[in-house]
């Protein structure tokens, strides 16, 4: 009796999540953009200088990003490889794969801005992955991996910052509230689509306090509103997260067998930004790379003499993306809270 239940415990805990499958933008892209023709890349130094082997992979950070920490937290590999990275094959992707593309969003017109993968293309690659997985592990095992994997979905910031607030089109069509509803409709369709393809365990990521990204603070400063956070953008993030939460509730009721959670980084991220010193950081308003005020991608280059020497002292790596250490703190928090039920 004791032995039997002990055995059962081992079997169930070992069987919980066989793979991490990732969709989204630069918050979770492990290097897919390296393989497409866009200017939005980060596969050069100083990106990746604190990654394994100091290797710039195309992750928008000095080191690992949240899916890497989450995968490790689930007892899987300590990183999730990009589907388009020629270094990796289906044998690697069987326990984790990333379809994300930096610069994308829920809205097709967001991915057009920098010519990156729209979310429907990410799903096309996912379908392609399913075929390869079936060929590699067999139909039955593939079905098991697909339905028991944890799906991490993280995007939306670019829809507002790169698209709605930067270009005229969407602003002339929608109020910001209507635009949120439009994006939510796409998020719902997206989840229903991957559910239809077999996905069951999902984590939908909320927006960060996007008005506090160093780039937005710099814009605020240039516009003469001080150098604080853009409160308006933070309010939109909070509104959007509330709507995501309602969507999660609705989908859990509507779709049999689905388990979707909202992984909301907003509050913990805001605590870090407001009191960086209590988390061991020196700076939250400017990033490590270059001047820290506006650089990312090709502007964050190795020759810039201003780049900080210890990224662990900074909340942000470049003007738009957190450092590895911030990613680790936020992922650790999500693992202990919303993602815990899947562990």
Q: Which positions are catalytic? A: 26, 318, 321
CB of 163 to ligand NAG, least distance (A): 13
Among the listed residues 108, 178, 267, 302, the single contact to ligand NAG using CB under 6 A: 108
- Binders in 119-148 for ligand NAG, by CB under 6 A: 120
Judged by CB, which is closer to ligand NAG: 118, or 276? 118
SS (H, E, C) the chain: CHHHHHHHHHHHHHHCCCCEEEEECCCCCCCHHHHCCCCCCCCCCCCCCCCHHHCCCCCCCCCCCHHHHHHHHCCCCCCCCECCCCCCCHHHHCCEEECCCCCCCCCHHHHHHCCCCCHHHHHHHHHHHHHHHHHHHCHHHHHHHHHHCEEEEECCHHHHHHHHCCCHHHHHHCCHHHHHHHHHHHHHHHHHHHHHCCCCEEEEECCCCHHHCHHHHHHHHHCCCCCCCCHHHHHHHHHHHHHHHHHHHHHHHHCCCCEEEEECCHHHHHHHHHCHHHHCCCECCCCCCCCCCCCCHHHCCCCCCCCCCCHHHECECCCCCECHHHHHHHHHHHHHCHHHHHC
Judged by CB, which is closer to ligand NAG: 50, or 122? 122
Judged by CB, which is closer to ligand NAG: 52, or 120? 120
Q: According to the binding rule CB under 6 A, does residue 115 interact with ligand NAG?
A: no
CB of 246 to ligand NAG, least distance (A): 19
Q: According to the binding rule CB under 6 A, does residue 298 interact with ligand NAG?
A: no
Convert residues 213-252 into a mask of x (bound to ligand NAG by CB under 6 A) and - (unbound): ----------------------------------------
CB of 120 to ligand NAG, least distance (A): 5
CB of 254 to ligand NAG, least distance (A): 20
Judged by CB, which is closer to ligand NAG: 112, or 291? 112
Judged by CB, which is closer to ligand NAG: 47, or 99? 99
Among the listed residues 17, 21, 22, 186, the single contact to ligand NAG using CB under 6 A: 186
CB of 108 to ligand NAG, least distance (A): 4
# of chain residues touching ligand NAG (CB under 6 A): 4
Binding site for ligand NAG (CB under 6 A): 108, 118, 120, 186
């Amino acid at each position: 009796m004791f032995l039997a239940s002990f055995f059962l415990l081992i079997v169930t805990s070992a069987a919980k999540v066989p793979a991490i499958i990732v969709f989204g933008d630069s918050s979770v892209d492990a290097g897919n953009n390296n393989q497409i023709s866009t200017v939005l890349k980060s596969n050069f130094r100083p990106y990746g200088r604190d990654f394994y082997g100091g290797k710039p992979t195309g992750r928008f950070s000095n080191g690992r990003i949240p899916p890497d920490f989450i995968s490790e937290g689930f007892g899987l590999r300590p990183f999730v490889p990009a589907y388009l990275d020629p270094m990796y094959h289906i044998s690697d992707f069987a326990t984790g794969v990333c379809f994300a593309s930096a610069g994308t969003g829920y809205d097709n017109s967001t991915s057009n801005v920098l010519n990156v993968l729209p979310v429907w293309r990410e799903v096309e690659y996912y379908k392609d992955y399913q075929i390869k997985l079936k060929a590699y592990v067999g139909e039955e095992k593939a079905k098991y991996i697909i339905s028991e994997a944890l799906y991490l979905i993280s995007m939306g910031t670019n829809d507002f910052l790169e698209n709605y607030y930067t270009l005229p089109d969407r602003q002339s069509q929608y109020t910001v509230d209507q635009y949120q509803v439009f994006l939510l409709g796409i998020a719902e369709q997206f989840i229903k689509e991957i559910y239809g393809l077999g996905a069951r365990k999902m984590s939908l990521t909320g927006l960060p306090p996007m008005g506090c990204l160093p780039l937005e603070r710099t814009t605020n400063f240039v516009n003469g509103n001080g150098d604080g956070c853009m409160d308006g953008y933070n309010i939109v993030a909070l509104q959007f997260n509330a709507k995501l939460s309602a969507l999660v509730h609705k989908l859990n009721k509507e779709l049999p067998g689905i388990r979707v959670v909202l992984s909301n980084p907003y509050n913990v991220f805001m605590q870090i930004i407001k009191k960086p010193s209590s988390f061991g950081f020196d700076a939250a308003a400017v990033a490590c790379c270059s001047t820290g005020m506006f650089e990312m991608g090709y502007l964050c280059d190795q020759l810039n003499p201003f780049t900080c020497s210890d990224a662990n002292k900074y909340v942000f790596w470049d003007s738009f993306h957190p450092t590895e250490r911030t990613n680790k703190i936020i992922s650790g928090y999500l693992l202990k809270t919303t993602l815990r039920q899947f562990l």
